[in-house]
Amino acid sequence: MLIWDFFQGIHTFFLVHTDVAIARLVLIALGFLLIYLGWKGTLEPLLMIPMGIGMFGVNGGLLVLEGGKVGNLFLDPMAGNVEELMNLLQIDFLQPIYTFTFSNGLIACLVFMGIGAITDLDYLMARPFMSFFLAACAELGTVLTLPIAMACGLHPPEAASIALVGGADGPMVLFGSLKMAKDLFIPITVVAYVYLSVCYAGYPYLAKIIPKRMRGEEMDFRKIPRVSPGAKFAFAIIACAVLCVLFPVASPLFACFFVGVAIKEANIVKYVELLSGPVLYGSTFFLGFTLGALLGADVLLNPKIMLLLFLGMVALLLSGLGGLIGGLIYRRFSKEPFNPLIGLAAVSCVPTTAKVAQKCAREANKKCMILPFCMGPNVAGVITTAIITGIYVAGIGFID
């Protein structure tokens, strides 16, 4: 028995093509970087740490399988026939997670249940026009990136999938790309989650296009009307029913989000604890870990990866600009003081962009508190992004 048989992870670097070996090293290094940035709090640790470990685990842990094939014991997303899949379910430890929660979009739906259970509808219902107007403006990247991506050579379903990054909603991107561009869902979803973490660092610079006096404009909390739990519960049920009828392709997302909201407003404490704790954080953990394990060298070597990185950045930049422009427009016609940074929160990364908007406002004026006002557009953005996802999947997802 040769010494290489004991250290197959090292041996496989010499068995694969040079470009694959280099890609593996790059991804291992990137995995360590994501872990470090998550640990420092620069990126979202809940996702980045398990994703980083999955990345260097799958790229370092290659070995020689039966028939001389080089592979790993994590999972095989390309498993096709039933016999092959049944074998892998008994061998690859993440294969059940991928097969039973990723390939059918369940993982995205579970995350949405948890998000619904922590979502507060008060300000959305108190100011519905403002909330949905800003949310519509903040879909600028989701809409404009589609023709830009098509002009760059992507097929319409692929272009629609990467355009959804502009909605800044990771589960939505995962769900949409699985429906429309399954061969690219791994890089698109990873681009989405990494970029959403970068929102913390990038959007404060974008917010500076708003004059400082406007960024620091204070809002009057006395202007927020109170909404009863019964009204919020009724809204959740009616909105869910209407949206499911109008956009049945996205009905799993609507049903899961609004069941979380309904459970919260019905004050079913045990269910709220279940959805907002184990379901949300458990599914988010396995989402990050499994995505990392899906990031093999073949993904990095995909010729479309650089284009996807560029388009993802364009989508989020345009959405942020759209939200800020919407905030300026609303301020122009509002009859009361209005901070345009609230438009930035309409990019629906709940509650990240709302926190970013608050942080930018505090930097301009230490007394400024806009976070409660930000939550209306923030939640509305989830709904508008789900609507656009339904439109894209139904209207574009089946185009060859």
Rounded to an integer, the average pLDDT of 314-330 is 94
Predicted confidence (pLDDT) at residue 1 exceeds the cutoff of 50: no
Classify residue 71: in a domain, yes or no: no
Range of the domain at 283: 107-395
Rounded to an integer, the average pLDDT of 100-105 is 86
Write down how long the chain is.
400
CB 87 within 8 A of CB 63: no
Closest CA to 138 of 322, 384, 361: 322
**pLDDT tens-digit readout, 197-246:** 666 678 889 999 999 999 999 887 777 778 888 999 999 999 999 999 99
Classify residue 28: in a domain, yes or no: no
Classify residue 253: in a domain, yes or no: yes
Classify residue 243: in a domain, yes or no: yes
Residue 13 vs residue 150, higher pLDDT:
150
Work out how many domains the chain is built from and give that number: 1
**pLDDT tens-digit readout, 163-200:** 999 988 888 898 899 889 888 888 888 878 777 766 66
Classify residue 255: in a domain, yes or no: yes
As a whole number of angstroms, the longest Cα–Cα distance in the chain is 81
Question: Which of 91-95, 142-146, 298-302, 359-363 is least confident?
Answer: 298-302
Classify residue 257: in a domain, yes or no: yes
Classify residue 53: in a domain, yes or no: no
Residue 64 confidence (pLDDT): 80
Predicted confidence (pLDDT) at residue 38 exceeds the cutoff of 60: yes
Question: Which of 11-15, 319-323, 372-376 is least confident?
Answer: 11-15
**pLDDT tens-digit readout, 250-286:** 899 899 999 999 999 999 999 999 999 999 999 999 9
The pTM assigned to this predicted structure is: 0.87
If you average pLDDT over every residue of the chain, what do you get? Answer: 88
- Concatenating the DSSP letter of every residue in 203-250 gives HHHHHTTS-HHHHT----GGG-----HHHHHHHHHHHHHHHHHH-GGG
Residue 353 confidence (pLDDT): 87
Residue 260 confidence (pLDDT): 95
Percent of the chain with pLDDT over 70: 96
What angle (nearest 5°) sits at the alpha carbon of residue 71, between those of residues 65 and 77? Answer: 125
Closest CA to 110 of 66, 170, 45: 170
Classify residue 35: in a domain, yes or no: no
Residue 17 vs residue 400, higher pLDDT:
17
Predicted confidence (pLDDT) at residue 67 exceeds the cutoff of 80: no
Residue 121 vs residue 225, higher pLDDT:
121
What residues contact residue 315 under an 8 Å CB cut-off, 6+ apart? 141, 142, 145, 162, 163, 164, 165, 166
